[in-house]
Copies of this chain bind each other. A is one copy, B any other.
Amino acid sequence: MKSQTAPSLADVARRAGVSLSTASRALNDAYGVSAATRARVLDSAAALDFVVSPDARRLAIGTTGRVAVVVPHIERWFFGQMVSGIERVLSEADFDILLYHVDDAEDRREFLARLPARRKVDAVVVVAFPVGEAERERLELIGAKIVAAGGQSAAYPYVCIDDFQAGRLALDHLTSLGHRRIAMIAGSDPDQPGWPAIPGRSRAYESALGALGVDVDPALVRDVDWNPVNAAKAMADILDAAGEPPTAVYAHGDELAFGVLHTLRHRGYRVPEDISVVGIDNHPLSELLDLTTVAQDVGGQGAAAARLVLQALGREQDEPGADPGAGVVAPVHLIERASTAPPRT
């Protein structure tokens, strides 16, 4: 006879002929229960309509309750902020975050190719790198949703800034002050040395100069690994190589601009009297270094990416199921500080 009240774990254990703790272990998938015992307990739970835990409920609705966040760097500011924003929103929705640090393009391809076999997650957030078509298809085949944070994709939902727009804000600020001889420190793609990691920020440079009829002078442009020390060396290199120093420097990111500021100070150039410097990001230390920059809210982008995950999993009530390719372009804005001024006449 079926009981009128909800069945207890003791009912499940009794029916399966096991102890309470064995029943609990079996239902929680975890601790040294034989497959046969586990099957008996699950049979018993199924017969009694017993639901034990969030994990069991998740199994019933076919989810793992986990989201993978895959980052090419953990220790850099941008990635920390991004992961922090993603974690905040997903943990509120009762998801766990599996964090994967995957280094170069080959590692990332291999990792994403292996992920479906593991079937550990409901969704994957890739931070600041693209997912190849083959990996995407494999992930979607097993039902794992993909969301891109800090990078754009036509094939799945994304959150990012418009890098060209961010670059133009920085450069238009310099050109409106009267600068024409502007150096660029570009962060290069570690997988394709010599190519910019963020091509939109390089296109902004070409476009801003082109609009004023100024040719790009290769002596004023350097691509460096995304690291302030490399940027400091690149700045020294530009000062050594270029006959006349630039009147302003445009760095693809604030961390690169910090290296530029270091070299200029050590070489005896005053900022902004002799040379202006502008970055992109609004890194937490930029305010302290008086750096003019184009600000983006990275934690907010992480939170937005997490909300796209919830939508894709049908967990947001108003917008069930995300459109593939639905994108969020986060706003950017110029913050003028004391590192930029008109060029000396």
How many angstroms between the C-alpha atoms of A76 and B284 in the bound complex? 10
Interface: A229 (CB within 8 A): yes
How many angstroms between the C-alpha atoms of A91 and B63 in the bound complex? 23
CB-nearest residue of chain B relative to A266?
B290
List 12 extra interface pairs beyond A30-B63, A97-B100, CB under 8 A: A29-B119, A31-B62, A31-B143, A35-B45, A35-B60, A36-B43, A54-B118, A75-B84, A76-B80, A77-B77, A229-B288, A258-B288
Chain B residues with CB under 8 Å of A42's CB are 35-36, 38-39, 42
User: A282 to nearest B CB, angstroms?
Assistant: 13
How many angstroms between the C-alpha atoms of A142 and B29 in the bound complex? 13
Contact A229 B62, beta carbon cutoff 8 Å: no
Contact residues of A with B, CB < 8 Å? 28-36, 38-40, 42-43, 45-47, 53-55, 59-64, 66, 69, 73-77, 79-81, 83-84, 87-88, 91, 96-101, 117-120, 142-143, 228-229, 232, 258-259, 261-262, 284-285, 287-289, 299
Total identical chains = 2
Contact A99 B87, beta carbon cutoff 8 Å: yes
Contact B288 A232, beta carbon cutoff 8 Å: yes
Residue pairs across A and B with Cβ atoms less than 8 A apart, 23 shown, are A28-B119, A29-B64, A30-B62, A30-B120, A31-B143, A32-B61, A33-B59, A33-B62, A35-B45, A39-B39, A42-B42, A53-B118, A66-B98, A74-B84, A75-B77, A80-B80, A84-B101, A88-B101, A91-B101, A96-B100, A258-B285, A258-B288, A261-B288
How many angstroms between the C-alpha atoms of A80 and B117 in the bound complex? 29
CB-nearest residue of chain B relative to A73?
B84
Chain B residues with CB under 8 Å of A29's CB are 29, 59, 64, 119
Which 5 A-B residue pairings sit nearest by Cβ, starting from the closest?
Answer: A32-B62, A35-B46, A39-B42, A74-B84, A75-B80
Contact B284 A228, beta carbon cutoff 8 Å: yes
How many angstroms between the C-alpha atoms of A243 and B60 in the bound complex? 70
Q: Which of B73, B97, B142 contacts A98 (CB 8 A)?
A: B97
Contact B77 A81, beta carbon cutoff 8 Å: no
Q: Which of B34, B38, B46, B84 contacts A34 (CB 8 A)?
A: B46
